[in-house]
Amino acid sequence: MNYKNIIVEELDNGVGIITLNRPEAYNAINNALLAEVSNAIKDFDANPDIAAVVLTGGEKVFAAGADIKELAELDFASAYQNEFIKKEWYALEHHIKPIIAAISGYALGGGCEMALLCDIAICDKSAKFGQPEVKIGTMPGAGGTQRLTKAIGKSKAMHLCLTGDIIDAEEAASFKLVSQIVDHDVKSEAIKIAQKIAKMSKPVVRLIKESINNAYESNLQAGLAAERQSFYTTLALEDRIEGMEAFIQKRPPNFKN
């Protein structure tokens, strides 16, 4: 695919990078950009050389939300019947390989929701988060009332979604919306995390990711049962034998995936 709204890079150490690149519109997520992101994620998921993905934006903005100029043209009947951008978000929501969001500047509306559906989100001090849809007479449509509530709790989610207030990096970290604030280049820090993950056994990484998503998306007993089952599954892997032998022999593991 010939990308116009994103930049896709493949590093030779198992890391893929997707950079949102519509700076003139603050990386507003229009249909074209979303289709490209969805396509790039599917490609990385299918690419055996890629182990982890970094999703980032520009220095001033990660993404300022869905493109309001496109949203302004929508009407209920056609958006509902044609399931407006549902399938494009599906690829993001159901991505297989770990995605690390590296956020500078605004992550608002759909931009905040995009960060929330990544597996790890880190930011620099310039990051600003919010769900300002209420201010333009609509509401979050891709997880802002759901994932955000699970991530930061009901009271804070209510505050953000009902007022449209924007929070800074410190507050986002204190509410666990991001795992880390970095005081240097956030993209290079995300690449370092992706490189660490890329050194692990791919099937084990996938089992862990699925298990944590179970915790996030199911009730505790079902999640614990699935986790136990996945743990037993790792016992069948050669990489598990190699990992434990390597530890005992005091050498780095040589995972074969």
Q: Is 66 in the site for ligand DAK (CB under 6 A)?
A: yes
Among 62, 106, 129, 255, binds ligand DAK (CB under 6 A): 106
State yes or no: residue 109 binds ligand DAK (CB under 6 A): yes
**Per-residue b/e over 4-35, b at no fewer than 16 CB within 10 Å?**
ebbebeeeeebbbbbbbbbeebbbbbbeebbb
Which residue number, 89 or 129, has a Cβ lying nearer to ligand DAK?
A: 89
Known active-site residue 113:
yes
- N-to-C CA span, the chain: 28
Helices (H), 117-201: 147-152, 154-163, 169-174, 186-198
Q: Is 67 in the site for ligand DAK (CB under 6 A)?
A: yes
- Residue 115 as a binder of ligand DAK (CB under 6 A): the answer is no
Considering only residues 142-171, where is the footprint of ligand DAK by CB under 6 A? 142
Supply the minimum distance, in Å, between the C-beta of residue 215 and ligand DAK.
Answer: 24
Residue 26 as a binder of ligand DAK (CB under 6 A): the answer is: yes
Active site residue 59: no
- Is residue 182 near ligand DAK by the rule CB under 6 A? no
Q: What phi, psi does 73 have (nearest 5°)?
A: -85, -5
Phi, psi of 94 (to 5 degrees): -110, 25
Distances (CA, A) of 164 to 132, 140, 159, 174: 4, 10, 8, 19
Catalytic residue list contains 189: no
Annotated catalytic residue within 16, 105, 109, 110 = 110
Q: Is 57 near ligand DAK (CB under 6 A)?
A: no
The dihedrals phi and psi of 230, each to the nearest 5 degrees, come to -65, -35
Judged by the rule CB under 6 A, the positions of this chain that interact with ligand DAK are 25-26, 28, 64-69, 84-86, 89, 106, 108-110, 132-133, 136, 141-142
